[in-house]
């Protein structure tokens, strides 16, 4: 029986993807790089510097590390302005019920987000107290699909990885869960999240009993 659940944030509990998209689009276009929804799909589950490298790979310019850090900082500052407008109304359907169901069942609840603004987003959504432990990008050396972020969360929760399951909407995130030795619940398209053990359209279809006994 599973004793802990570790959720991703973006695309699972709330949709900050549109804010990331707007911030990355402005940065990309400032560097003469075309950026659209299709390009943005490749950034899902990738951390900030990894996403920046993918964008700048389409530029004829070559950037120093200092220039990259400045661009990443500029993107993040714009993103923080955008997410400052978030409210509990930005929670995705089923998110609060899923968290409450896990708590009622006695599961430890973790968050594994490659966003460095995870705590800010949780605060804006009013759900910080629903998590026993939060791991963000500032606490790990390797981003998804490396398993580190889920392993760090499991260790902090005091539960072996095999007794945890993870919930993710991105291919890189699902790969991270599986590499950590956990059961993976995908949120989104089954054709895309083929590595997940089960895929649901959203947390509105979250069925805890199915995953705890898996």
Kindly name the residue from 8, 53, 100, 163 that is annotated as catalytic.
Answer: 8
If we measure between CA atoms, which residue out of 55, 40, 36, 48 comes closest to residue 113? 48
Would the annotation count 8 as a binding residue?
Answer: yes
Go through 50-88 and write b for each residue having 16 or more CB atoms within 10 A of its CB, e for each that does not: ebbebbbeeeeeeeeeeeeeebbeebbeebeeebeebee
146 is catalytic: no
Kindly name the residue from 10, 100, 101, 132 that is annotated as catalytic.
Answer: 10
Would the annotation count 176 as a binding residue?
Answer: no
15 is catalytic: no
Would the annotation count 15 as a binding residue?
Answer: no
Would the annotation count 76 as a binding residue?
Answer: no
- In the 8-state DSSP scheme, what is residue 167? E
Would the annotation count 146 as a binding residue?
Answer: no
Q: 3-state SS of 177-201?
A: HHHCCCEEEEECCCCCCCCCCEEEC
Would the annotation count 43 as a binding residue?
Answer: yes
Would the annotation count 62 as a binding residue?
Answer: no
List binding-site positions for Mg(2+).
8, 10, 168-169
Catalytic residues: 8, 10
List binding-site positions for substrate.
8-10, 24, 43-48, 51, 75, 113-117, 144
């Amino acid at each position: 029986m599973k004793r802990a659940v570790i959720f991703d944030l973006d695309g699972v509990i709330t949709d900050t993807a549109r804010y990331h998209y707007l911030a990355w689009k402005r940065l990309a276009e400032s560097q003469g790089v075309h950026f659209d929804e299709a390009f943005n799909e490749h950034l899902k589950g990738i951390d900030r510097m990894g996403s920046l490298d993918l964008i700048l790979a389409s530029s004829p310019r070559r950037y120093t590390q200092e220039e990259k850090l400045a661009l990443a900082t500029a993107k993040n500052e714009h993103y923080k302005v955008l997410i400052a407008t978030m409210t509990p109304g930005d929670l995705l359907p089923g998110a609060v019920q899923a968290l409450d169901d896990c708590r009622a069942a006695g599961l430890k609840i973790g968050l594994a987000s490659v966003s460095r603004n995870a705590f800010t987003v949780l605060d804006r959504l009013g759900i910080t107290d629903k998590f026993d432990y939060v791991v963000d990008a500032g606490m790990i050396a390797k981003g998804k699909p490396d398993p580190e972020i889920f392993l760090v969360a499991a260790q902090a929760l005091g539960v072996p990885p095999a007794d945890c399951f993870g919930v993710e909407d991105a291919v890189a995130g699902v790969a991270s869960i599986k590499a950590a030795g956990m059961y993976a619940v995908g949120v989104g398209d089954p054709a895309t999240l083929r590595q997940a053990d089960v895929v649901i359209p959203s947390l509105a279809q979250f069925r805890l009993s199915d995953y705890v006994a898996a």
